[in-house]
Each structure stands twice: as C-alpha cells, then as structure tokens.
Structure 1
Amino acid sequence: MDLFKLTPLHLLYFALLIQTVVCNDPLFHFCSSSNTYTANGPYAKNLNQLLSSLSIKVPPTGFGLGSVGQGLGRVNGLSLCRGDVSSADCKTCVVDATSEIRQLCPYNEEAILWYDNCLLHYSNAEFFGQIDNKNKFYMWNTQNVSDPMSFNQKTRELIHRLSLKAYVSPLKFATGDMKLGEYQKLYGLVQCTRDLSSGACKECLETAISELPSCCDGKQGGRVVGGSCNFRYELYPFVNA
C-alpha cells in the first residue's frame, strides 16, 4: 500500500493506533514506496549531508530548508519546530528526527516524520512553497464533550481566529485561548511551515479547519496535522509560556 495515498478510513485507523504512543516517540510518519535509493549511491550521500545541515540550521530560528546535489541525486528537505519550544528542545527534536526517519524509512527517496515538537520532511522532488495535502493524519482525545454542537462551534471559532493571526505572522504560528464558561477555557495552536506564502498558509489552515468534523467531532481535544500546516486544541494548557 502506498502510504502517501491513505484513505480517510486508514487515517482513522492509524489515529486510533497512535493514541498509545509515549511522548518521546514520533507521532506519525509516512514513507514513499515509489522510489528508493542505494546505500552507497549519490542520493544517500546527499541525504546525509542535508540532514546534518538541518540539525545545525534549524534550532536557532525553529525552521530551515535546503537542497543538496544535482539531477537524480538531488535531495530537498525542511524541518520545522513548534513555535513555542526552546532552541535546545528544538535541536534535540531535529537530531532525533534525522536519526529516526532513516530507521523508519530506509532507502526511501521521500519521507516525512512528526514529533510533538518538530517536523522533518525530505524528498527527491522540489516541494518548497507548495501546500502538502497528501501527508496528513488526525489525533483526538477519546473523551466526548457534553454539548458537541456548541463546543464544535467554539473550537472552529478559536482555530479560525488563530489562523488569521498565524498567516500574517513571520513565524506562521499562533496560540491562544477562549473562555467556555466561568471555570473552563479552550486552548489552541496553529502553525504553517515558513516556506509557504501568507496566502498559502491561510489556504492550508482553512482546509485543515474544514476537516474538524471528520477529525474531532465532539471530542475534548484534537489535531489535524499535515506536511504544511497543523492545528491543535485542548481543554488544558499545552503550550510553553
């Protein structure tokens, strides 16, 4: 099965599986089955160079991209850290991701991996500045809310408000909260990869928000996570101050 063409049913199935992961494990990954490279070939050499470069380039600002090589051996990649994590935690995450992705996707010319704190994506194709709608998964809290219709509306309002802030921000990142009652708040986070234009970031987030009913209908928390953008909401604070 080509994991880059998962159906919604597959997504739901895998989302159920990943509820059991521990915090230091990757959230999810996809490996392309269409093209592979040889262990000692030019693509392998260029990939090693790119991943080493990203582990150095990304932590100071939380984002980096690059390309190494020419022709069929050319590899393109980027890494993004969550906008609220420290440089030290960002570095740890990217270093872990560069090691883990090669174990999970050995010899695949395209792969993408998510941790809670970072994303790593490389490919033989040039994908910078393009919205990635093929690599996507859902996660949700297994607990339901008491009034799904009202809660879903509030969730959409919060994520939409944050997306309006994120796509005009240099970091393409925004967090915030909304009061649900006297004693309860809803917390949210949205983010785009910084290779996207403001318009593309807005479009990516709007598409993700439209998937709320499929992802997290009436759930106390949830995420739509893609290769270009993501959002998360919870009934507890989960971002770093």
Structure 2
Amino acid sequence: MSTSRLSLFFFYAILIILVNPTINAQRDPYVLHECSTTGNVTSNSTFRANLNTLISTLSYNTQIDYGFYNFTAGEGTNKVYATGLCRADLSPTDCRSCVNISAHELLLQKYKRY
C-alpha cells in the first residue's frame, strides 16, 4: 500500500515539474507601469506632443537589443523621459514588445481623461 502511494506521489511531482514551465511560458511579459500622480497634461500641449513622439520612438526602434531603454523628447519643462529595463531572460523581441505595450498602456491608463 505504501509503495503505491509513493509511486503516486512521484507521478504527480513529475507531472507538476513538466507542466510548470509550460504555464510560465504563456505569461504576458508585461509586468507593470508607474505614473506620477501630479501634473496636468492637456491633449494639445507641447508636453503631450513630446510624449507621443517618445512613445513612437519606443514603439518603432528595433535597433536596441540589449534590454535597456533610455529616451528623451523635447526641451525644458516639456521634456519627456522614458527608461525601461527588461528582464535578462527575455529575448530582444519580447523586450521590445513589453516596452511597446507599456508605452501604449501609459497612454490608455494615465492620460485617458485628457
């Protein structure tokens, strides 16, 4: 009786080990974004135009493949900064995809009221 229980235990343990990487591989690489709660940006402002330029730069820049992004757009008080760092286990394609998703999510979540 104890041998069958032990066999059943090992069967389920191996099954969990084999299924777990499959579940992890299906996760969305996007983790989170963080926005400042101060400030007021209108849709026709210089800052918003710079933000749109910066997001376009992030979305279409395929030359960067080392997992770290640091861009700026504009000048003075209307200057927009973006920094992104991808996990080391992501491919360059997945990293760019995550940065792209984050940039567009920023527009949808933070500035949807403007």
TM-score bracket for this pair, using the shorter chain length: 0.5 to 0.7
Superposition deviation, residue 58 in structure 1? 7.2
Gaps of 5+ in 2: 1-25
* Residue pairs, 1:59-74, within 5 angstroms: 59-74=64-79
Provide the rounded CA distance (Å) in 2 between the counterparts of 1:51 and 1:73. 15
* Residue pairs, 1:38-187, within 5 angstroms: 38-55=42-59, 56=61, 59-106=64-111
Q: Tell me which residue corresponds to 1:23.
A: 27
Gaps of 5+ in 1: 1-21, 109-241
Contact 2:62–2:96 (8 Å) recurs in 1: no
Contact 1:58–1:79 (8 Å) recurs in 2: no
Q: Percent identity?
A: 31
TM-score (norm: length of structure 1) = 0.32
Change (3 A) 1:90 1:25: closer
Contact 2:33–2:102 (8 Å) recurs in 1: no
- Tell me which amino acid in the other structure corresponds to 1:81: C
Superposition deviation, residue 68 in structure 1? 1.2
- Residues 53-62 or 71-80, more deviating: 53-62
Provide the rounded CA distance (Å) in 2 between the counterparts of 1:101 and 1:58. 22
Provide the rounded CA distance (Å) in 1 between the counterparts of 2:74 and 2:52. 11
RMSD: 2.6
The structure that is strand-richer by fraction is 1
Partner SS, residue 67 of structure 1 = strand
Superposition deviation, residue 29 in structure 1? 3.5
Provide the rounded CA distance (Å) in 2 between the counterparts of 1:83 and 1:97. 17
1:32 equivalent to 2:64? Answer: no
TM-score (norm: length of structure 2) = 0.63
Provide the rounded CA distance (Å) in 1 between the counterparts of 2:98 and 2:29. 10
Change (3 A) 1:27 1:85: closer
Provide the rounded CA distance (Å) in 2 between the counterparts of 1:76 and 1:107. 19
1:51-98 deviation per Cα after TM superposition (whole angstroms, max 9, x unaligned) = 222231675121121211112211111111111211111121111111
User: Which of structure 1's runs of 4+ aligned residues deviate more than 6 A?
Assistant: none
